[in-house]
Amino acid sequence: MKKEIIQKIEIPEGVEIEIKENKLKVKGEKGEIEREFNLRKLDFEKKGNFIMIGNKKATKKEKKRINTITAHIQNMIKGVQNEFEYQLKICSSHFPMTVEIKDKEATIKNFLGEKINRKAKIRDNVRVNIEGEIIKINSYDKEAAGQTAANFEKATRIKNRDRRVFQDGIFLTSKAGREI
């Protein structure tokens, strides 16, 4: 059944938004994020202090896309106001491992006694700080911070061993202010 679905997103003070066709640029005190959306059959415009996303005759697929785009825009607005922070913990029971940051790449040394270093990519606009066993990832772009945290976890994934015995690795403990 087709019906009219329109989402309103309020633009807070201190945040500037530009819309050009299907591109959205959000500027705030922490930074600037630009993103392109797939707006097939959707209306996307800025009216006063609101962003309007919707369709006069929306189906279930359009409703899903409207809600997804709304969530992305809200995350962009939150990010340029307050940064997102992810925390990871370095766990090593068998072999002590070290993590070093150089440019846009992290090097994990002595993971499970391996001689070859493992590497994790750090996305642009992401700051990584290592404080003892805690790795803090900060960014105003939630997707970039989340992907960087996932790269750390993926680099220390264990294959062909029992996870109950070999519990070494880098694990996510807190993501975007929420404990895990």
Task: Say what the pLDDT of residue 166 is.
Answer: 81
pLDDT band at 135 (very low <50, low <70, confident <90, very high): very high
Strand order of the β-sheet with 105-109 is 98-102, 105-109, 118-121
Euclidean distance between the first and the last CA atom of the chain, given in angstroms as a whole number? 39
Six token digits for residue 161: 């061993």
- Return the bridge partners of 139, or none: 84
Residue 177 pLDDT exceeds 80: no
pLDDT band at 176 (very low <50, low <70, confident <90, very high): confident
Per-residue pLDDT, averaged over 121-129, amounts to 95
Q: State the CATH architecture for 84-179.
A: Alpha-Beta Complex (3.90)
- Return the bridge partners of 19, or none: 24
Fold of the domain built from segment(s) 3-81: Outer Surface Protein A; domain 3 (3.90.930)
Percent of the chain with pLDDT over 90: 69
- Do domains 3-81 and 84-179 share one topology? The answer is yes
pLDDT band at 67 (very low <50, low <70, confident <90, very high): very high
Q: Is 170:153 a contact under the CB 8 Å cutoff?
A: yes
Handedness of CA 155, 151, 177, 82 (dihedral sign): positive
Percent of the chain with pLDDT over 70: 99
